[in-house]
Structure 1
Amino acid sequence: MSAPHLAARGVACGRGRRPVLTGVDLAVRRGSRLALVGPNGAGKSTLLRVLAGLDAPHAGVVELDGRALRAVPARERARRLAVVSQHELPPADLQVRELVALGRLPHRSPWRSDDADGHADAALERLGLGHLAGRAVDHLSGGELRRVLVARALAQEAEVLLLDEPTNHLDLRHQHELLAAVRELGVTVVAAIHDLDLAGRYFDDVAVVDAGSVSAPAPAADVLTPALLADVFGVAAVRLQHPVTGRWHLVVDPEENAR
């Protein structure tokens, strides 16, 4: 059996010196899409930063194709891993096309940020953002900025995409359009997602981050159950099947939760 595309083995990590997660064993198959779900503050963002190599684990090792991530040169890592953080604030004086073109830096000389190869414009068009190419970054709404940052990751053409709450600030239509576009890339994706319906629809596997640990990835249909909502989120829910698509959806029971 081949090595996982991205893996954590015995990883412990935290915020500063404070431990948040311990004993994390995670294996992400090449080309699969893994959703990290769990309560706010459980450590999803912390884990993503460690998987991306932005923070060092307190213990254990992260591997890329069976190779310790810390042994991968920074430039190679930048070519192979693309990261969209939750709270990134790019320089206000950049235009959108310039920001997205920065995704090409790992592939060429560091002093070039133009889009001579057209990747930035192609990424913008893919997400329906071509009309924003000449706009200043500080004139974007929160949702527009999120989509532009994902476009930068697409322009990077990395084989692993790490997304921290990519649908944050997006309206319903753009949530689905963005995740559908990501799904069509055919790359390995690990994303922190708070919307369980989106996790079930657009991701192959789900891992639950809660109480200092991370569950083994499993098919979304097996993980996203009323028992999960009760145990992890403390709310009662029922599972209903959509009459048209046949998909199963978790629906919070307001009467049960009001008791």
Structure 2
Amino acid sequence: MTAHLSANGLECRRGRTTILAGVDLDVATGERVAIVGPNGAGKSTLLRVLAAIDAPHAGTVLLDGQPLSSMPARERARAIAIVSQQEVPPADLLVHELVSLGRVPHRSAWSTDSGDHASSALDRLGLRDFADRPVDRLSGGELRRVLVARALAQEAPLLVLDEPTNHLDLRHQHELLRTVRDLGLTVVAAIHDLGLAARYFDRVVVVHDGGIAAAGAADEILTPDLVHRVFGVRVTRVTHPETGEPHLLVDP
């Protein structure tokens, strides 16, 4: 079966410095994959290449078997929605206007947009009351949720998220990731919290030392030895007394 998203032999450089090399990754349709790793490991770099924002210095990225580099920009925008880590939208936009921008790839020169998709996306993230608020009056966490709502309004089958839980409090972290989990989309997300990655994603990919150090189900690969080697902290695996789910207790 052809993977929904496939990366083969990726090499990514910044200037003369190689950030990633020899990266191979297949993501199945409907699979949720968390990209984890220490700061500076190349998680954002990998996501930008997978979403065709940046081109790799070597290797290929395929979407449903088709090279991303050969797809027209509008076709890519209908297929991939991305929420970047450091995006700062124009301050004079209202929230519903920003979310409505997710519909741009679907509009023709003569089409009009009723706003239904934007309203639905705001509702899914509990943001309907924010619709007429200027973007510059949002907190960091509120803006993150609005940007995810814009991605949902885009209705692309592949969702790429760079640290989507940044600035969110605990409740909204879990609400957001539950919403993303229940969408039924293919999702690739950089996540800094190993507990969230383990709970809400089907597979975890660990980026370290310029490549992929491990990939698989969280309870199989996030061993104390690997976490210590990659993140420099010691952890103990425990079982939740009520759910039976494995958890990592960190001892820095």
Q: Give TM-score, length-normalised by structure 1.
A: 0.94
State the match for 2:141 in structure 1.
143
SS at match of 2:133: coil
- Where in structure 2 are the equivalents of 1:216-235 lying within 5 Å? 217-235=215-233
The total of aligned residue pairs comes to 252
Match of 1:161 among 159, 162, 184: 159
- Where in structure 2 are the equivalents of 1:200-219 lying within 5 Å? 200-215=198-213, 217-219=215-217
2:71 pairs with 1:72: yes
Match of 1:197 among 180, 195, 198: 195
SS at match of 2:192: coil
SS at match of 1:41: coil
Consecutive aligned runs of 4 or more in structure 1 exceeding 2 Å deviation: 14-18, 109-112
- Where in structure 2 are the equivalents of 1:1-259 lying within 5 Å? 2-109=1-108, 115-215=113-213, 217-253=215-251, 257=252
- CA distance, structure 2, for counterparts of residue 71 and residue 62 of structure 1: 10
- The answer to whether the 8 A contact 2:77-2:105 is kept is yes
Deviation string, structure 1 residues 30-50 (Cα, Å, up to 9, x no partner): 100000000000000000000
- CA distance, structure 1, for counterparts of residue 212 and residue 110 of structure 2: 40
Give the partner amino acid of 2:196.
L
Are residues 85 and 250 of structure 1, via their aligned partners in 2, closer, same or farther at CA, if it must alter by over 3 Å? same
Q: Which runs of 5+ in 1 are unaligned?
A: none
Are residues 135 and 117 of structure 1, via their aligned partners in 2, closer, same or farther at CA, if it must alter by over 3 Å? closer
Are residues 215 and 146 of structure 1, via their aligned partners in 2, closer, same or farther at CA, if it must alter by over 3 Å? same
Higher mean displacement: 218-227 or 86-95: 218-227
Deviation string, structure 1 residues 148-202 (Cα, Å, up to 9, x no partner): 0000000000000000000000000000000000001101000000000000000
Shift of 1:15: 2.7
Higher mean displacement: 14-23 or 62-71: 14-23
- The answer to whether the 8 A contact 2:36-2:194 is kept is yes
- The answer to whether the 8 A contact 2:207-2:214 is kept is no
Shift of 1:3: 1.0
- The answer to whether the 8 A contact 2:11-2:56 is kept is yes
SS at match of 1:19: strand
Shift of 1:117: 4.4
SS at match of 2:175: helix
Shift of 1:17: 4.5
Instruction: Please provide the CA RMSD for this pair.
Output: 1.4
- The answer to whether the 8 A contact 2:78-2:156 is kept is yes
Shift of 1:228: 2.0
Give the partner amino acid of 1:53.
A
Are residues 110 and 103 of structure 1, via their aligned partners in 2, closer, same or farther at CA, if it must alter by over 3 Å? farther
SS at match of 2:108: coil
Shift of 1:18: 2.7
Deviation string, structure 1 residues 126-154 (Cα, Å, up to 9, x no partner): 00011100000000000000000000000
Shift of 1:224: 1.8
Q: Which runs of 5+ in 2 are unaligned?
A: none
Q: Give TM-score, length-normalised by structure 2.
A: 0.97
Q: Percent identity among equivalent residues?
A: 65
- CA distance, structure 2, for counterparts of residue 111 and residue 46 of structure 1: 37
- The answer to whether the 8 A contact 1:26-1:217 is kept is no
